[in-house]
Structure 1
Amino acid sequence: MTLLTKQVSKQPTLKQKVMSGALTGILMGSLGVAAPMVALTQSATAAPADNLVAAKRLNKLLDNTKSMTADFTQTTKGARSGTFQGSMSVQRPNNFRWETKSPSEQLIVANGNSMWIYDKDLEQATKQGVDAQVGNTPALLLSGDPNKIDKNFKITQPYSNKNYYVLYPKSDSASFKSLSMSFNGGKPVMMVLNDTLGQTTSIKFNNIKMNPSISSSQFKFTPPAGVDVINQ
């Protein structure tokens, strides 16, 4: 079909709304991150790192992630509860691919200039502009410039001996409260998100491969024939 400038008439199911809302929120900042479960196992007496030290440590961890592929399990609790599984790829600078495979299929591809959201069941693809900076896009932390993170977030490390970080947006317009990431062996293994409406989304990564070679085609998207395309 031809390019559309308005919403098409197809209506998503509840299942699709859950998945689309959660995934789009991860990329566009409609979700935030709360403390992951690993925090519950930490000693209450462990001293936190100061903000400057925490920022340097997180920057180093992210800077060492030139590229990454992983499978993920994403669970959202709240008004739009659901559990989804899929795979993701990131590559600096600003290349991101997030593909949900179960229970429904959805693909999000960002390359720094634009972002595509493709819903196979709805036969619909949405193209949006995306800021190349970290800004208010939490998941792009994995593909953006780590040296700019502290300009947009207050970075904390609640336990100085654990690679667990909580980030708070400095912008008053951010739609999430905080963002946290846990690392194991230098690998990001968990993100837990908590939005301003009280929803909590946890993302656990497995089968992680650090700094693999990834084809540039993974970060490009061409809408299939017959798909409704919406430009935003």
Structure 2
Amino acid sequence: MQAKKTISAILSGTLLMGVPMYATMTSAVAATTAADNLTASKRLNALLVNTKSMTANFKQTTKGGKQASGNFSGTMAVQRPSKFRWQTTKPSDQLVVTSGSKLWIYDKDLEQATSQSVNNQVGNTPALLLSGDPSKISNNFKIAQPYGDKNYYVLTPKSKSANFRNMSISFNGGKPVMMVLNDNLGQTTTIKFNNIKLNPSINSSKFKFTPPKGVDVIRQ
């Protein structure tokens, strides 16, 4: 099932990185040349650190590689520390959600829910980066700002075991508008965001999940 691959993509690190939380730039960038790694890291951290929560709609397209291409859409929400929710509504209903210590993956069509523990620190899994500690990003990624006057960053995992080669993040007016991720299977995933809200109040129930009656539960 094509939609099923959406969940696999999330867990393997070929998806959610494109939903980081951004605040407004603290100062204008005058230079047009590429920023050095330290400067790029500080600028990206400055964008992230002041945003405590975010909600948005998304449209995702995956192309290339040996797997079938696909188009997906849905909604997302993140809240620091360590909370995120990513729900695909089309072409099928799937949910990935965590309140910090346990991550649930729910496939409504398959009537199956998978539970696993997660590390609440920023790691090589893009999904965890969304709600983790911004100051730890540089520990796990090499950060580049190819054009000093553009709000565009490229992150490359330092770990050789990461499941993606690199990702780029573009944002406008302090809000993320697009992310492009290149994985190790030759696939390119593009995620575009709209209806973005920064620092909204999000009910804690949004990040909790109880398997519906009759659902097959797998614990890992």
Give distance in 2, aligned partners of 1:19 and 1:30.
9
Give distance in 2, aligned partners of 1:103 and 1:209.
24
Size of the aligned set, in residue pairs, is 206
Query: Counterpart of 1:189 in 2: which secondary structure?
Result: strand
Range 118-127 or range 172-181, more displaced: 172-181
Residues 1:32 and 1:167: Cα distance change in structure 2 (over 3 Å):
farther
Partner of 1:155: 143
Partner of 2:214: 226
Match of 2:5 among 18, 39, 46: 18
Within the alignment, does 1:99 sit opposite 2:87 as a pair?
yes
Within the alignment, does 1:88 sit opposite 2:76 as a pair?
yes
Query: Counterpart of 1:173 in 2: which secondary structure?
Result: coil
Deviation digits for residues 137-189 of structure 1, max 9, x if unmatched? 11332211000000111110000001110011111211211122111111112
Give distance in 2, aligned partners of 1:94 and 1:110.
8
Cα deviation for residue 32 of structure 1 reads 9.1
Partner of 1:169: 157
8 Å CA contact retained: 1:32, 1:195: no
Residue 115 of structure 1 aligns with an amino acid whose one-letter code is L
Match of 1:71 among 57, 81, 84: 57
Give distance in 1, aligned partners of 2:156 and 2:72.
26
Partner of 2:130: 142
Match of 2:179 among 172, 191, 214: 191
Cα deviation for residue 16 of structure 1 reads 2.7
Match of 2:45 among 40, 55, 59: 59
Mapping for residues 90-129 of structure 1, pairs under 5 Å: 90-129=78-117
Cα deviation for residue 212 of structure 1 reads 0.2
Give distance in 1, aligned partners of 2:51 and 2:14.
24
Give distance in 2, aligned partners of 1:32 and 1:156.
19
8 Å CA contact retained: 1:181, 1:188: yes
Within the alignment, does 1:48 sit opposite 2:34 as a pair?
yes
Residue 197 of structure 1 aligns with an amino acid whose one-letter code is L
After TM superposition, the score normalised by the length of structure 1 is: 0.84
8 Å CA contact retained: 1:33, 1:180: no
Cα deviation for residue 69 of structure 1 reads 0.3
Partner of 1:182: 170
8 Å CA contact retained: 2:179, 2:192: yes
Residues 1:33 and 1:94: Cα distance change in structure 2 (over 3 Å):
closer
Give distance in 1, aligned partners of 2:10 and 2:70.
11
Query: Counterpart of 2:160 in 1: which secondary structure?
Result: coil
* Structure 2, gaps ≥5 residues long: 19-30
User: What RMSD, in angstroms, separates the aligned Cα atoms of the two structures?
Assistant: 1.8
Give distance in 1, aligned partners of 2:77 and 2:164.
23
Cα deviation for residue 205 of structure 1 reads 0.7
Give distance in 2, aligned partners of 1:66 and 1:181.
19
Residue 15 of structure 1 aligns with an amino acid whose one-letter code is Q
Give distance in 2, aligned partners of 1:32 and 1:185.
21
Query: Counterpart of 1:230 in 2: which secondary structure?
Result: strand
What is the percent sequence identity of the aligned residues? 68
